[in-house]
Amino acid sequence: MSSLRTDDDTWDIASSVGATAVMVAAARAAETERPDPLIRDPYAKLLVADAGTGAWEHMLDNELMERITGADAEIGAMFEHMGSYQAVRTHFFDRFFTDAAAAGIRQVVILASGLDSRAYRLTWPAGTTVFEIDQPKVLEHKSATLAAHGVTPTADCRTVAIDLRQDWPAALRAAGFEPAQPTAWLAEGLLMYLPADAQDRLFGQITELSAPGSRVAAESMGIHAPDRRERMRTRFAAISAQLGIAEPTDIAELTYDDPDRADVADWLDHHGWRAQATASQDEMRRLGRFVPIADSDDQSFSTFTTAVRD
């Protein structure tokens, strides 16, 4: 059970789970500025600037990253690994949407969309509608920031401002969602912030709303040794104090580490879907972006699962 979460908690882009969206966008921005980027997100930097989280915005400061590596090479490797992971994850799910569009799917739902910019940066076929579901303040920050810079979506983008613990299917239908049409669903950076029973309920709701031929993609986290998490937490605190920077949000304090959580691929296979799972380490190695870390339990950070509705 997370110590910082409650059943009715809310957040904006600078607090709690909302702040992790800034971390992910900062990683996409940093990847975009590499000479050999795996993905390109021209809007990520706009979304991170002045977001108010401080620590995550430091990921775009190359000089500071060099100082961190100089102070603790292992922490530097952790940041490099995290950045590469985010790039690989983004690449994987970008391809999921490309394949779904090629298969004729024109209805997309991004659950807990955060600062996801796919509705703006991907090339969508004519007639595609992208629904973004998240808390109101998170969606407001993204839409206002992009509008202020004259950025417009490349699909019919419809925001659904609601907490996924509420009746989001009704809100989605009210926004124009058509259950009879095949849909491409994405649950990226979401499941670890839900208790195990809420994860089951979410996939049950997705299944009820999915016509045959629909597709779903999800990222699920592994369970890692608590002693290693504590060691890394201590080292992050020491580096922050040494360099005079704010400590980043401890993501482990925001997540639900439920040992009885259902395996996503198994759940989907038993509920009318055909699923395939890919270990994140395997995908990182395939794309040449795996960064070894000495203090590691040698498990994949996560699993990427895709499935098709029969």
Domains and CATH numbers, the chain: 19-309 (3.40.50.150)
Q: Is 183 left (phi over 0), alpha (psi -120 to 50) or beta?
A: beta
Residue 64: count other Cβ atoms within 10 Å of its Cβ: 13
E runs forming strands in 83-228: 107-111, 129-134, 156-161, 184-187, 215-221
Half-sphere exposure of 252 (CA within 13 A, CB side): 13
Whether 58 contacts 64, CB under 8 Å:
yes
Provide the b/e sequence for 175-200 (b: ≥16 CB within 10 Å).
bebeeeebbbbbbbbbbbbbbeebbe
pTM of full prediction above 0.85: yes
- The confidence score (pLDDT) of residue 121 equals 98
- The confidence score (pLDDT) of residue 1 equals 42
Q: What is the pLDDT of residues 59-90, one digit of tens each?
A: 666 676 777 777 777 777 777 888 899 999 99
- The confidence score (pLDDT) of residue 35 equals 94
- The confidence score (pLDDT) of residue 118 equals 98
Whether 21 contacts 51, CB under 8 Å:
no
Burial of 147 (0-12, 13-18, 19+ CB in 10 A): exposed
3-state class of 299 per DSSP? coil
Q: Residue 308's beta-bridge partner residues? A: 215, 274
Half-sphere exposure of 172 (CA within 13 A, CB side): 28
CA 191 distance to own-chain centroid: 9
Whether 108 contacts 155, CB under 8 Å:
yes
Report the number of secondary-structure helices (H) and strands (E) in the chain. Answer: 11, 7
- The confidence score (pLDDT) of residue 244 equals 65
- The confidence score (pLDDT) of residue 247 equals 61
CA–CA dist 23, 13 (Å, integer): 10
Order of strands across the sheet that contains 156-161: 156-161, 129-134, 107-111, 184-187, 215-221, 302-309, 273-279
Residues of the chain below pLDDT 70? 1-18, 50-62, 64, 223-233, 235-240, 242-253, 294-300
Whether 218 contacts 193, CB under 8 Å:
no
- The confidence score (pLDDT) of residue 220 equals 96
- The confidence score (pLDDT) of residue 70 equals 77
